[in-house]
Amino acid sequence: MKLTLDNVRWLATLVLMLLVLSSCASKIVLTPAQVGHWEGNARIIVVWCQQTNLPVKLDIQADGSVTGIVGDAKLTTGRLLKNRGWLLRKLNWATDYIITGGLDGPVVAAEGITRKRVMMPCNFDGGFIKGGVATSGTWFGGKNGMALTAFSLKLTHFH
């Protein structure tokens, strides 16, 4: 088979469709071990934030709704969603879940850092939630508009 531009386009379209279809959100079914109150911290990695610790407290409901606190901000309209399908899992890309929602109030009150939304890609791992935190914002711009990111999120389940 000769590799033509049309063949490359067709192949790229096929790969893209497989990735999209494999990550389509289906109804989430949570186990009792996943539902409940979770607390822990993440390490803030942006250099323009003086605070290095980001406390996180979450309450996950059986229907996938999530409430809680991210830093000093209240999590609003929070949802726990599937973040990858079989293909991305096989390729070991992305996390199994992602928590998304709005933020009400400053994320870091002492420094006046406020953002509108948050995403927390995560996995349930041996009684913990492990992942990261990324707020809305730009890729550049510092404290006034850049996304606040934190790694090494580790939450413990409190019964």
Q: Is residue 154, in this structure, part of any structural domain at all?
A: yes
Q: Is residue 116 part of a domain?
A: yes
The parent domain of residue 126 ranges over: 25-158
Paired tokens of 132: 């990261």
Domain membership flag for residue 1? no
Answer whether residue 14 is part of any domain: no
The number of domains in the chain is 1
Query: Is the distance from CB of 14 to CB of 22 less than 8 angstroms?
Result: no
User: 100, 118 in Cβ contact below 8 A?
Assistant: yes
Give the global pTM: 0.81
154: enclosing H helix or E strand? strand 149-158
Is 121 contained in some domain?
Answer: yes
Let me know if residue 30 belongs to a domain.
yes
Task: Tell me the average pLDDT of the chain.
Answer: 88
CATH number at residue 35: 2.40.128
18 falls within a domain: no
Q: Where are any strands of DSSP class E within 1-148? A: 36-44, 53-60, 65-70, 73-82, 97-104, 117-125, 128-135
The predicted-structure confidence for 62-89, as pLDDT tens digits, reads as follows 999 999 999 999 999 999 999 987 776 7
Q: pLDDT, tens digit, for every residue of 126-141?
A: 899 999 999 999 998 8
Q: Which among 155, 106, 111 has a CA at the least distance from the CA of 132?
A: 155
Residue 4 lies in a domain: no
For residue 29, the model assigns a pLDDT of 85
